[in-house]
Structure 1
């Protein structure tokens, strides 16, 4: 059975009602389970689980330390282009925004790379808008040929591609592909994506399958928190993850947790996701799945990122710029969204070290083998002073 078939047989409203109907007994049953399933995940993201956040955080910490050690992988995005043919109501790069468009040349790319290498990065995420006439597979292939030997790990977040195109980029050295469905609420998806290829919900939904068949080493999933009910969207994302892990069991997976941030010409969040709710979601994913990598970006505030390290995350971005050429070439070009944590790479590395963790600068496969494990737990994990009204 394909994921499209699974998805088509799962009703949004029924899934939402099931989540909100969970009670304390369901949560306690999920917490005591040795092997949790998607019904347990529903309980752990439900309102009924909020009083159990401390217990969830303690177990999330223990599971993460057991599987990943006390390490946080660092990466940074490098935006190659803000050209985009889509109209997306939440994105600063939207086609209908009257901004100056920019796509980096080979020389400009090398300038950005030199800056990032000088700051220690060995894991980079290449990001573009979706402009098939400009930033296409030949362009991506040229970029990979240009920088492949500079980094241990190169990921991409670009428009959905065909399986054969992913095969080309896999051969060129792409390690992972991030593709976010944004929202799994099919009935309103078109309203957020009224124009462009991204408006094709089904094509985007099938993208991780094409990545899996192409042999991509790692696939990144996520929803844009703030578009629709975060609990229901996250359940469908977990459903997608569950399917992919069974279908492409040799592939690694990651989940990201982007909350909507201010940007030029975009809508306000439809749903506010508070800090405690985001902590609950991160812990629920870890309790469901010990192996999935969990990533928190500089969208989040300094306060939140200061305290999230022991709670289940394995990957953090640092020193990020969300505009093409943002590090050196053209720092004042328009950002895709405003970052919140503007601290330098060095400050984030020190934050991780001060928390008793090791900052890992390249992919897990090579660094984890030699990374020291262990380390004691200090104090109550959720003694974080993270307030429920701290939101974007």
Structure 2
């Protein structure tokens, strides 16, 4: 049994009809509840829910502070490779883009880590293009070994692996794995992922199941906003989250909201997701799940991130570079996408503190060193 079996019970168009048929009365009923279900979540993300954003924002702020306090965790991505064997039409790492690829070695990684440590970070997210042969689990393990003494928490965003591979990495100290389905619309999935291992919808969809089976401490979910109708994709993300929490209850979970950004190749979003839409979505998730961690990356603008600080977010990236070697500035390399908020970590930390919140650079000691 996996989430792939669960999702077969649902029809994309029927779910879309359910969401778009929700009324203001459905939204009001949802807002009166202390704990909402998936039907209520549909109401909150529906067009009818747009009239109640202020109420949703207030409830989201209250619930977030009740569960997480006034704390914002800081993290930074470290791109270790832009080598990829997939042909995702929306990604700068698409293997058809004719640019020289960069795979960091130990020396490169040490240089990158030194620069990141100067910025104050204790939590690191290793990011790699999906190249199983050149950047598989053995390479990831080597990179983790190289920096494990420098950071208290190591997370990963890379190609899907098998259960035994995740188990080995977890035993080495891997804490969190982020894996985005991009879209839950199986009918259109192949259109965006025409070739490469990522074109296998089921294998990618079952990755969080393998993470749960491997005992990974935290799993990050999300869909790529702009490929399909954000309301429908977000419903399936919420369904996925609910399934995982019930099935692999020992793991923690987080939600991210990557919106399509400019990149090499120039793919244009099929569906617009405005900042107003994103406010509605984030606050709806908080009302749906009081405990899920919510991340906002530098894909979003300064003003938007500043405003969302109090409305549901629990972690911010800062000073992000989306190309291998980007922090030590040795040479130019292909970036995955362009960032939108280019403030330094110190500037973002100052903004967070100015709003009465605490900046958390470290809240987890490397258990492998204890």
Is TM more than 0.5 here? yes
Matched, 1:133 2:133: yes
1:172 & 1:141 partners in 2: Cα distance? 8
Matched, 1:270 2:261: no
Are the aligned partners of 2:152 and 2:364 in contact in 1 as well (CA < 8 Å)? no
Change (3 A) 1:158 1:167: same
Secondary structure of 2:155's match?
A: strand
Question: Match of 2:104?
Answer: 104
Question: Match of 1:253?
Answer: 253
Q: CA RMSD in A?
A: 1.1
Shift of 1:363: 3.7
Change (3 A) 1:254 1:364: farther
Shift of 1:27: 0.3
Gaps of 5+ in 2: none
TM-score (normalised: structure 2): 0.97
Secondary structure of 2:221's match?
A: strand
1:12 & 1:43 partners in 2: Cα distance? 16
Matched, 1:77 2:77: yes
Secondary structure of 2:130's match?
A: coil
Which is worse superposed, 95-104 or 142-151? 142-151
Gaps of 5+ in 1: 367-392
Are the aligned partners of 1:324 and 1:330 in contact in 2 as well (CA < 8 Å)? no
1:50 & 1:138 partners in 2: Cα distance? 47
1:114 & 1:68 partners in 2: Cα distance? 30
2:152 & 2:91 partners in 1: Cα distance? 30
Question: Match of 1:53?
Answer: 53
1:111 & 1:329 partners in 2: Cα distance? 10
1:313 & 1:305 partners in 2: Cα distance? 9
Secondary structure of 1:304's match?
A: helix
Shift of 1:364: 6.1
Are the aligned partners of 1:137 and 1:165 in contact in 2 as well (CA < 8 Å)? yes
2:329 & 2:173 partners in 1: Cα distance? 25
Deviation above 3 Å: which 4+ runs of structure 1? 363-366
Shift of 1:2: 2.9
Question: Match of 1:358?
Answer: 358
Work out the number of aligned pairs and report it: 366
Question: Match of 2:242?
Answer: 242
TM-score (normalised: structure 1): 0.92
Change (3 A) 1:48 1:365: farther
Are the aligned partners of 1:294 and 1:312 in contact in 2 as well (CA < 8 Å)? yes
Matched, 1:142 2:137: no
Alignment of 1:1-392 (within 5 A): 1-330=1-330, 332-363=332-363
